[in-house]
């Protein structure tokens, strides 16, 4: 079969209602967090992502899924430049989102 540069994967179902962890604190501090539609524009534009392995969309998803401690150190690499906020089509204040995630994860660190 001719390769097109990508592979098709089996269909997967993701139950947001049952697999997402509560994010009340973050939603309260940054209400626009709820508006994310996971388009990836923030990650594609990210200044940090141009230089290192840093994917804000991935951290957003992992935070929602409750896999939080493994992203605590990664989030420190954000430069808080705000470029991601400028391109977000849903008006998510991603810069504030990152700062709030850092704050919440900081309190959990040993």
CA distance linking residue 67 with residue 77, whole number of Å:
18
Residue 102 near ligand SF4 by CB under 6 A:
no
CA distance linking residue 108 with residue 19, whole number of Å:
21
Residue of the chain from 73, 81, 103, 106 that contacts ligand SF4 (CB under 6 A) = 81
Phi, psi at 11, each rounded to 5°: -65, 135
**Pick from 99, 78, 77: which is nearest to 33 by CA?**
99
Contact track, ligand SF4, 3-42, x by CB under 6 A: ---------------------------------xxxxxxx
- Looking at 1-55, list the stretches that DSSP marks H as alpha helix, in order from N- to C-terminal side: 16-19, 24-29, 41-45
Residue 95 near ligand SF4 by CB under 6 A:
yes
Residue 52 near ligand SF4 by CB under 6 A:
no
Among residues 25 and 86, whose Cβ is nearest to ligand SF4? 86
* Positions in the binding site for ligand SF4 (CB under 6 A): 36-42, 46-48, 56-57, 78-84, 88-90, 92, 94-95, 98
């Amino acid at each position: 079969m001719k390769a097109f540069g990508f592979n098709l994967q089996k269909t997967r179902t993701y139950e947001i209602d049952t697999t997402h962890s509560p994010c009340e604190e973050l939603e309260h501090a940054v209400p626009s967090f709820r508006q994310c539609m996971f388009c990836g524009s923030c990650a594609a534009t990210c200044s940090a992502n141009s230089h290192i392995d840093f994917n804000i969309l991935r951290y957003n998803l992992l935070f929602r899924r409750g896999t939080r401690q493994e992203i605590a150190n990664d989030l420190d690499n954000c430069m808080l430049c705000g470029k991601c906020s400028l391109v977000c089509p849903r008006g998510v204040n991603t810069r504030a989102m990152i700062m709030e995630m850092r704050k919440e994860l900081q309190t959990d660190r040993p």
